[in-house]
Structure 1
């Protein structure tokens, strides 16, 4: 009997080791595929620790304590916002000991929300040249300790958050972040102020000393007349944006009180800088940093910061790898601006609304205009291009398939905005149905034998709480206001039962992220001055999410080389038109679709604009679809404005921002 028991224990251990080895190999594959980190099969002094990174809630001090159990550590390198780390031991023996004893070890994440399982692999030489700290954007300054702790306390105590205020409809969406305005009310519906309607009382008197110091020190040239006070609880943020050029003068200053925070700056070319704003510091934005770079705060409860000397992290030093997690506190910002009285004449006309009045307004002013814009540049277009669109949509996205196949057998799944239904037949173990605003696309689903019906995504005629899961792939970016995009997310959540999950994909503003170019951008066409006539009969319409973020693998993209879509205007629209296979210059734009359906149509179609001179010829039309492309963190921020949900996962997938939501 004792022999049998030992045999069973040995067999059980063997199964455990086999399972651990499989997960370890999966972690290696993921690191190589998504991060370019190649593991080696032989022992070295250096190890990569998958799952053990700042990006998934593991603190530097916490990980250091674990890896030091196996021997003296020469370096612990933790890249910002990455779910892995590198550890280097003094000897190969210590490294092998860590490999053998720490693989599969569970530790608790910093916020105690989950257990994290570590998977270690040997790596060769680790280069940190590409992770050097980014310099401040031009024109940006951070002045530390501008006010004393006593002045900070007085400023915070001066805010009366309890007084009654008139809250506009636009501000109701800010219910999760407290906001107050002085001097002029900032209008969130058009990102501007009404110069003819100043608020009574002007700026609080308590700010006079602070502003006088800023003028004296040369941080500002003119005394501000508008103040916005924001209070951020841990986990809250603000989407990336540029303060409207025509609304305010060059200098914008923001005082951080109560807690430190990291603010993310991004250049249109994809360059990014995460800037720490210490408590009681002043941020000064002028010139390029004010007019060209977007700035925002990613909603999270921990920031990646430089480990201070005061923290007991041992003698391990690794230059820029000396990073750790800092828990956010309640931060209150005082942002001062000077209202502009004349048009902006900055050196950045491509993003200046004063110098592009022919393209303003960029956003619908109300629900009626939003509905009309979407009807013309979304619904009507998809009805026209449905057959051609469907012919280019036959390859399901791998990570969407992964989400669906991970659902339990018999799960009821709604594909909201199902298009031609390419996901409806992914798994025979699921009960899937689809819905779409386009009747012609729904008819195609019917021909394929799928269950689908026509409806508006904002009002799905399905009982609340009846679905185990929902997917919304390349749909929400077609809504033209933040309120309508939020309403579409709210409708997805309504369909879910408690514990149900939703997967959402939207186009990303960042078509190059973490050195990962979308396949769409990799295949961008070169325009060399002379506009060639485009033979649309020889082109495939590779403009949708399957190719904006990632070209359909069955599509021959070589046929685009040397061609150029040089459309710059569309009749009856003030929106910019995107040049296909280039980076985005605007978040709200029209994207051309070159129709190929075997028919020819005369130039001047009501909803198209030809890409080349028509003369007396007839050409296949070019249709234009409206898109709002999302900046990093914007989709997560919208999701976190919903009640009763948890963002389980967020990631970037070949030109798309993606989230997995769970209904609590």
Structure 2
């Protein structure tokens, strides 16, 4: 067998001197390298270092810390193994370069058997440094509590045996076999068609007798304030889960408790602002949800056969910290949950009226109608876009810190010295991404622009409809999550015209808007599509997108020559088969966060969390949103969510551009166009 250095020299030879097997390996290694660069911003180096990135060797594709460490330690002393949560790669740092080089040469292209018993092939590349930073430690959602060892192992066995999944003699509708789990109801049947209970039709028999002692114990120890009268028993096999949801406000009282028997599980809690906390529920533990955790946060179980948990044995319950140096996989067992609730007899009067089904009917009259003219559209944007971003700027900025891979790739691919305008730059998270180009940002929010300036970025205040930059002075423009805030088709088209005006001939613009079809993010076959012309291929090569399989079908048709804003864009979209919903003379609906869109023109709630910085200026709040019953005020932003093909069609109404790419990215429709 050739020495490691000799094998590495062979890798650097031209492909004509390599065997078919070696050529195939090189192609796959190159693909892995560019995939990591494109999606994660991980850049490898050609020289030997102590650190390696291991593609396919991560928690996200069923490789546990124990398994990977065992493989890696065969080649030297491992100083650190970082395994980011849910990622299909990991980082390893050896004590010496010689050990790292040995692992690189020996493990590259090597197959291992993962924890699911599947063969996977590892691909390694050298890196100067790891590209993983631990997140700020999260905290449990307010009102959430975990009580460990609430029952003994003996009582656990008795309770599990008391549930006869084969006997349904108590009531014909008490037991169901859902697609993702077995379910049995006691006291009242939970109706999944309306996420509620029929309060006039209790099930015979009430709750199982064996549950009474547990509930009395919870009442005595202060975990609950009243005895529940409804029970849902769920049995989860490994690989099964339940979608994120909030138990209907009007159906049940404040307290919801869930007993985990048979196995532990990781449950994900998510706040409407996007904050997610993964919580470990140990076997024989009790989960108690009240207040904000009950009414505002969704909770769900991701369907998978392994959970990501802390590798150390110290933690038994609570938050799974995103510590890439202390995470591993644990195989799931069969878990049976006993979720107790008390049926509500009066309307819910919680502190979250905008997400409460009992109180939402009183909110509809306070919201505006869809604008009928440009003046009304401008007023709507002023109240439900401009004013809102001034109020939430600091909180909004705290949630916007990680550049998206496709946008990163676009900016990184631009030639050195390019002049780039970020129209609607927000807190400026893209302004300093590429140090070899000159970027300037603008935003309608004075508060967000001030945050940019604090970060030493060039930014100024203006409206995207009239950008005070000289025509044809920019090599590229980006508009990320901006155009969907304009309230008419004509105003949205005008923003596209403004982007085209700023570009020099040959310059390119990247545009992102929210997509109505949120479920598309699970359909990778529709992830990216575009015209396979020579210019597009050049774009992909320049941005490092060399992995095959990302391009979809070719889009038929050529660019339209229509360019005037007075054309009815909505009618044009309908003619082209787009699913456009007109909402003229109707109240704008309030969207329920983390659910599918049912209207293209909506108001999206933002639940403001007050700044904790003692040096920060106090937030200015509107009087109707303050008060003891609303400690976290809610603001509403106007959105026009785009249906498939709508953004492309609007761009084609410009006479001086050609569409280079059209793709879907993480809930957004995106277009790259080039100025002719």
Query: Normalising TM by the smaller chain, what interval?
Result: 0.5 to 0.7
Instruction: Report the counterpart of residue 216 of structure 1 in structure 2.
Output: 220
Deviation at 1:230, TM superposition (A): 0.5
Instruction: Report the counterpart of residue 21 of structure 2 in structure 1.
Output: 16
Following the alignment from structure 1 to structure 2, what is the Cα–Cα distance between the partners of residues 192 and 204? 21
Deviation at 1:143, TM superposition (A): 1.6
Q: Deviations over 1:284-310 (max 9, x none)?
A: 111111111111111111111112449
SS, match of residue 249 in structure 1: strand
Instruction: Describe how 1:54-73 pairs up with structure 2 within 5 A.
Output: 54-73=59-78
Following the alignment from structure 1 to structure 2, what is the Cα–Cα distance between the partners of residues 624 and 301? 35
CA 1:162–1:171 in 2, change beyond 3 Å: closer, same or farther?
closer
SS, match of residue 275 in structure 1: strand
Deviation at 1:348, TM superposition (A): 1.6
CA 1:310–1:20 in 2, change beyond 3 Å: closer, same or farther?
farther
TM-score between the two structures when normalised by the length of structure 2? 0.55
Specify every segment of 5 or more residues in structure 2 that has no aligned partner in the other structure, as ranges. Answer: 1-14, 316-321, 365-405, 407-477, 497-511, 522-526, 532-558, 571-579, 603-638, 645-663, 670-676
SS, match of residue 299 in structure 2: strand
CA 1:115–1:202 in 2, change beyond 3 Å: closer, same or farther?
same
CA 1:544–1:261 in 2, change beyond 3 Å: closer, same or farther?
closer
Following the alignment from structure 2 to structure 1, what is the Cα–Cα distance between the partners of residues 479 and 241? 30
CA 1:43–1:180 in 2, change beyond 3 Å: closer, same or farther?
same
Instruction: Report the counterpart of residue 41 of structure 1 in structure 2.
Output: 46
Q: Deviations over 1:299-345 (max 9, x none)?
A: 1111111124499xxxxxx9652222111111000001111111111
SS, match of residue 254 in structure 2: coil
Deviation at 1:18, TM superposition (A): 2.8
CA 1:11–1:182 in 2, change beyond 3 Å: closer, same or farther?
same
Instruction: Indicate if the aligned counterparts of 1:230 and 1:332 stay in contact, CA closer than 8 A.
Output: yes
Instruction: Report the counterpart of residue 238 of structure 2 in structure 1.
Output: 234
Deviation at 1:15, TM superposition (A): 3.5
Task: Say whether residues 1:343 and 2:347 are aligned partners.
Answer: yes
2:600 corresponds to which of 576, 591, 596: 591
Task: Say whether residues 1:91 and 2:96 are aligned partners.
Answer: yes
Root-mean-square deviation (CA, aligned residues, Å) is 4.2
SS, match of residue 269 in structure 2: strand
Instruction: Report the counterpart of residue 300 of structure 1 in structure 2.
Output: 304
Instruction: Describe how 1:346-495 pairs up with structure 2 within 5 A.
Output: 346-357=350-361
Deviation at 1:570, TM superposition (A): 4.7
Instruction: Indicate if the aligned counterparts of 1:592 and 1:625 stay in contact, CA closer than 8 A.
Output: no
Instruction: Indicate if the aligned counterparts of 2:259 and 2:339 stay in contact, CA closer than 8 A.
Output: yes
Deviation at 1:357, TM superposition (A): 2.4
Q: Deviations over 1:536-564 (max 9, x none)?
A: 774789775699989999999xx99xxxx
CA 1:335–1:80 in 2, change beyond 3 Å: closer, same or farther?
same
Deviation at 1:353, TM superposition (A): 0.7
Instruction: Indicate if the aligned counterparts of 1:239 and 1:297 stay in contact, CA closer than 8 A.
Output: yes
The farther-off stretch of 546-555 and 268-277 is: 546-555
Instruction: Indicate if the aligned counterparts of 1:252 and 1:290 stay in contact, CA closer than 8 A.
Output: yes
CA 1:625–1:189 in 2, change beyond 3 Å: closer, same or farther?
farther
SS, match of residue 321 in structure 1: coil
Instruction: Report the counterpart of residue 287 of structure 2 in structure 1.
Output: 283
Deviation at 1:30, TM superposition (A): 0.8
Deviation at 1:523, TM superposition (A): 3.0
CA 1:173–1:205 in 2, change beyond 3 Å: closer, same or farther?
closer
Deviation at 1:277, TM superposition (A): 0.9
Instruction: Report the counterpart of residue 374 of structure 1 in structure 2.
Output: none
Instruction: Report the counterpart of residue 140 of structure 2 in structure 1.
Output: 136
Instruction: Indicate if the aligned counterparts of 2:111 and 2:121 stay in contact, CA closer than 8 A.
Output: yes
Instruction: Report the counterpart of residue 436 of structure 2 in structure 1.
Output: none
Instruction: Indicate if the aligned counterparts of 2:75 and 2:103 stay in contact, CA closer than 8 A.
Output: yes
CA 1:359–1:570 in 2, change beyond 3 Å: closer, same or farther?
farther
TM-score between the two structures when normalised by the length of structure 1? 0.56
Instruction: Indicate if the aligned counterparts of 1:131 and 1:320 stay in contact, CA closer than 8 A.
Output: no
Instruction: Report the counterpart of residue 270 of structure 2 in structure 1.
Output: 266
1:82 corresponds to which of 87, 96, 102: 87
Q: Deviations over 1:335-371 (max 9, x none)?
A: 01111111111222221111112689xxxxxxxxxxx
Aligned residue-pair number? 417
Instruction: Report the counterpart of residue 336 of structure 2 in structure 1.
Output: 332
Following the alignment from structure 1 to structure 2, what is the Cα–Cα distance between the partners of residues 291 and 31? 39
Instruction: Indicate if the aligned counterparts of 2:218 and 2:224 stay in contact, CA closer than 8 A.
Output: yes
1:523 corresponds to which of 476, 482, 495: 482
Instruction: Indicate if the aligned counterparts of 1:575 and 1:589 stay in contact, CA closer than 8 A.
Output: no
Specify every segment of 5 or more residues in structure 1 that has no aligned partner in the other structure, as ranges. Answer: 1-9, 312-317, 361-398, 400-518, 594-621, 628-651, 658-664
Following the alignment from structure 2 to structure 1, what is the Cα–Cα distance between the partners of residues 228 and 97? 61
Q: Deviations over 1:169-225 (max 9, x none)?
A: x98671552111111111111000111111122211211111122112221112111
Following the alignment from structure 2 to structure 1, what is the Cα–Cα distance between the partners of residues 17 and 488? 68
Instruction: Report the counterpart of residue 658 of structure 2 in structure 1.
Output: none
SS, match of residue 293 in structure 2: helix
Following the alignment from structure 2 to structure 1, what is the Cα–Cα distance between the partners of residues 108 and 668? 33
